[in-house]
């Protein structure tokens, strides 16, 4: 006996629901739990790195004296990576 077309549709929609991405209560995809702390942490760390370099560069040579002016590149690099993570925010 042939099966009706409506039975096949129910099976197909059940499979599609299982394969969807992780969704929250509002029906939108959620962020990983680590995203916000890492994103903000990198941006703040980069800012602290640059401020530390500017405040101590003439006296102590912090944060890493061997890098010299490249300490700015490290600080801005951390900030850029933090902002890059904002593109994953949903």
What pLDDT digit, counting tens, does each position of 45-88 carry?
999 999 999 888 777 778 888 888 899 999 999 999 999 999 99
How many domains does one find in the chain?
1
Q: How far apart are CA 11 and CA 16, in angstroms?
A: 9
Answer yes or no: is pLDDT of 13 > 80: no
Q: What percent of the chain lies above the pLDDT cut of 70?
A: 73
> Quick count: other Cβ atoms within 10 Å of Cβ 24?
10
Nearest to 42 by CA among 4, 80, 2, 88: 80
pTM of the model: 0.66
Q: Hunting for tokens 């916000």 — which residue is that? A: 36
What is the domain range of residue 25? Answer: 5-88
> Quick count: other Cβ atoms within 10 Å of Cβ 85?
18
Query: What's the mean pLDDT when you consider all of the chain?
Result: 82
């Amino acid at each position: 006996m042939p099966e009706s077309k409506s039975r096949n549709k129910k099976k197909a929609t059940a499979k599609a629901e299982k394969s969807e991405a992780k969704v929250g209560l509002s029906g939108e995809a959620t962020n990983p739990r680590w995203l916000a702390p890492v994103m903000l942490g990198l941006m703040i760390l980069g800012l602290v790195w640059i401020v530390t370099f500017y405040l101590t560069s003439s006296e102590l040579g912090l944060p890493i004296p061997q890098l010299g002016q490249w300490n700015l590149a490290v600080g801005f690099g951390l900030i850029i990576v933090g902002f890059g993570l904002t593109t994953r925010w949903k």
